[in-house]
Amino acid sequence: MTYPTSAPATAALALVESPTQLLDVIELAYASRGDDELAGLRVAVLAPAPGRTRDQLRAVVALARGEGLPVRWHEPRSGGASVARTIRGLLDELGQSRHLVVGDPSSGVLQVLVGLVRPTDVTVVDDGSVTPELVRRWAAGTRLRLFTCRSPEEPGPRSTGVEVRPNTYAWLRQRFPAPDVRDGVDLVAGSFVGSAAPDPGGYLDGVARIVDQQGVTRYLAHRREPEAQLAQIRALGVEVTRPRLPLEIEARRGPVNATVLSLSPTVARTLPLVLADTRVRTSAVLVRPVGVSALVAP
């Protein structure tokens, strides 16, 4: 798949800050082939601080460029006057773009950039975490669209009356058409494990119960999960893998186990779409002080 590389004066510009946001922009470009409003779509990456997120993002940039999307890398978080340099470097592009595509509407850096130009057309790529409140705030004075993996029946930003377009991960499924599905059970870490919020002991106890009760054979670690914690999970007798790419891409490339249990609500929402044409079944689980609560599988 290729996209126009020349940027007309009214071309669309995507501002992304994470690997999953960039994946969603690739999906949007694929779903919007022939759409004049997204013709000449360019991508500006607002790079995160050094770390595994940054490494994952560079890997997805390579995929985007391989699909013909023009991508420029910016460093708004490198200290000093980096934000001002990024703003100066993007002002011309922002001014030429009639249509903006954004990943995280709550991002401070992004709000500064968008506030300078006040676009009339905005598409938000949503992995399921965008709230109705954010959508309402952005809808004021703009023509707002939502590209989302949420189901039509699911409450959320759809209720705000904005135009909604479904993200079915069609690009990813055609790019990696036949993942190797193995008999086993994967457990996906939640994004909260990279923060100081959860109690490490309680989390590990919960993981141990899931491993014991559900027969988990592989643990898919979060990119920010501490190595010391992963060593304790390995001691439970399971394989531990830290994906190099967003989990949606890793699962589609395979191998993936036939049962996936997810502590991440986002992954529990996206993987059933990514793996819809396979025998993989995904369910959300919660770590509780006592026992494990299985939620309704998407």
Helix/strand/coil (H, E, C) string of 183-245? Answer: EEEEEECCHHHHCCCCCHHHHHHHHHHHHHHHCCCEEECCCCCCHHHHHHHHCCCCEEECCCC
Distance CA 246, CA 178 (A): 18
Q: What is the pLDDT along the chain (298 residues), one digit of tens a residue?
A: 544 444 444 579 999 999 999 999 999 999 999 888 888 899 999 988 878 889 999 999 999 999 999 999 988 777 777 777 888 888 888 888 888 999 887 777 777 777 777 777 889 998 777 766 666 666 666 788 889 998 766 666 555 667 889 999 999 999 999 899 999 999 999 876 655 445 667 889 999 999 999 999 999 999 888 899 999 999 999 999 999 999 999 999 999 999 999 999 889 999 999 999 999 999 999 876 443 444 333 3
Question: Where do we find the tokens 């995904």?
Answer: 282
CA distances from 97 to 14, 86, 109, 142, 285 (A): 10, 16, 18, 14, 42
Please tell me the predicted confidence (pLDDT) of residue 278: 97
Distance CA 166, CA 173 (A): 15
Please tell me the predicted confidence (pLDDT) of residue 118: 74
- Sorted by sequence, the CB contacts under 8 Å of residue 272 that are 6+ apart come out as 282, 297, 298
Q: Is 250 helix (H, G, I), strand (E, B) or coil?
A: helix
Please tell me the predicted confidence (pLDDT) of residue 7: 46
Please tell me the predicted confidence (pLDDT) of residue 98: 82
Q: 242, 272, 240: which is closest to 259 by C-alpha?
A: 272
Phi, psi of 7, deg, nearest 5: -110, 100
Q: 272, 296, 276, 273: which is closest to 286 by C-alpha?
A: 296
CB 273 within 8 A of CB 169: yes
Q: Which domains does the chain have, with CATH numbers?
A: 12-167 (3.40.50), 175-294 (3.40.50)
